[in-house]
Amino acid sequence: MHGRAVVVGVGESAYYKHGGSPDTEFQLACTAIRNAAEDAGLELRQLDGLISYMDNRNSPLRLADALGFEELRWSSTPWAGGGNNSSATMHLADAAVSGGHANYVVAFRALAQGQFQRLGSGAGLMAGTAPEGLSWGLPYGLMSPAQECALQTNRWMHDHGVSQEALASVSLACYANAQRNPRAVRYGRPLTREDYHASRWIVEPFHLFDCCMENDGAAALIITTPERAKDLPGKAVPIVATAQGKGPEIGLTTFQQRWFPGMYYENVGRILWERAGVKPADIDVLQMYENFTGPVVMALCEMGFCEPADVEAFVGDGRLEGPDAALPFNTSGGNIAEAYIHGLEMVVEAVRQVRGESTCQAKNVELSLAVGGPGYAPGSAVLFGPAI
């Protein structure tokens, strides 16, 4: 195991329904970073690194100025894709501090969808002609991640005889766990299996409740070295392994035969287990990014948690629900029921589990895993170890 970088602070803004934030996206980002610094026992001026991912609109220069950093020594974002890189933020933060490039690095994600358009809304695609990269799908009305993942999931369910109940079980676990979490946007809104099946189709096999929400909010984590963490008041949570990447020749679009159907997480799992020296059965608590439920069950199999033939039993009968679950899973409610901060809120939850501070606290947590969004490459994962 590695453990030369540790998370010393986590912070969030309040989470809102999409378009519900009274703050701008930049204000949300600053709030989450301030809260993370306060949690760590650090002054804002001590922070010297910034990492985000996806179409980040909050420039590191603007943030470092506004928050009063004395200097900025590291700013980076992983290439390609979207929420698949939520855990890659820890990969970069680990590199930044264990390599001595910066001292206190912030990983953050902020979004205000009232101020900006919704992710995957198609709102930017109204023009008359599609650019080359989108021309293969858009003229056919194939224009959203839900549709792309539905095509993958339908074929995978067909090949392995997996039923809709497996997808339902993932959604129900997220909703059940969110009922313990007052931060969750869906707190106080329990979901039954009947409600799930009665909800409208978005694209088959995804009902409304198979899809992540759209939200406003921000989340942040602060990473430093174990040596620096000794001078800070709180628990430090080691990054024991990270993985980011993709297998060979997945295609510029995600549908070529070699990897279809697939979520591109086989190699992420293999790299993670090799670097950590552990196996899936050793994981005490799992946060797995649900863009949609289908990709979750597929990625569980690709990472080695179970075989496709066993996945309905693996996720069914409440085996993912609550702190005493066979595998405590998405314990804050995840993207489906806590808030969709593009998965970074789930990395925060993975840290809370190690610190013993979750609202759905698993017992005796030593290995806490957060997996980025399946179905898009490069995938990413981060494994946290026992607090020091």
Nearest to other proteins of 200, 227 (CB atom): 200
Nearest to other proteins of 204, 274 (CB atom): 204
* Distance between CA atoms of residues 235 and 247, nearest Å: 36
* DSSP β-bridge partners for residue 106: 50, 222
User: In whole angstroms, how close is the CB of 175 to other proteins at the nearest point?
Assistant: 20
CB atoms near residue 61 (< 10 Å): 12
Q: Please say whether the beta carbons of 385 and 351 come within 8 A.
A: no
- The DSSP letter of residue 302 is H
User: In whole angstroms, how close is the CB of 315 to other proteins at the nearest point?
Assistant: 21
141 is a site residue for other proteins (CB under 8 A): yes
Binding test (CB under 8 A) with other proteins, winner from 1, 66, 67, 142: 142
Residue 217 amino acid letter: G
Binding test (CB under 8 A) with other proteins, winner from 1, 14, 67, 143: 143
User: In whole angstroms, how close is the CB of 255 to other proteins at the nearest point?
Assistant: 5
247 is a site residue for other proteins (CB under 8 A): no
155 is a site residue for other proteins (CB under 8 A): yes
- Kindly state the tokens that stand for 243: 């993985």
Q: Is 289 one of the catalytic residues?
A: yes
Binding test (CB under 8 A) with other proteins, winner from 256, 279, 307, 363: 256
* Distance between CA atoms of residues 77 and 91, nearest Å: 11
User: In whole angstroms, how close is the CB of 120 to other proteins at the nearest point?
Assistant: 8
- Kindly state the tokens that stand for 196: 């799930």
Q: Is 340 one of the catalytic residues?
A: yes
Site stretch for other proteins (CB under 8 A), options 34-42, 139-147, 220-228, 300-308: 139-147
> Interface residues for other proteins in 158-217 (CB under 8 A)?
158, 200-205
CB atoms near residue 57 (< 10 Å): 15
Nearest to other proteins of 212, 243 (CB atom): 212
* DSSP β-bridge partners for residue 302: none
Nearest to other proteins of 140, 188 (CB atom): 140
What is the enclosing helix (H) or strand (E) of 240? strand 237-245
Nearest to 31 by CA among 106, 136, 113: 106
Sign of the Cα pseudo-torsion (327, 330, 332, 337, in order): negative
Nearest to 349 by CA among 340, 364, 336, 359: 359
Q: Output phi, psi for 241, to 5 deg.
A: -165, 150
137 is a site residue for other proteins (CB under 8 A): yes
- Kindly state the tokens that stand for 25: 């996206």
Site stretch for other proteins (CB under 8 A), options 54-62, 70-78, 256-264, 341-349: 256-264
Binding mask 104-133 for other proteins (x = CB under 8 A): ----------------xxx--xxxxxxxxx
Binding test (CB under 8 A) with other proteins, winner from 77, 154, 225, 361: 154
Q: Nearest-5° angle of CA 81, CA 262, CA 157?
A: 130
* DSSP β-bridge partners for residue 111: 217
Q: Which residues bind other proteins (CB under 8 A)?
A: 120-122, 125-133, 135-144, 146-147, 150-152, 154-155, 158, 200-205, 249, 251-253, 255-258, 260-261
Active site residues: 289, 340
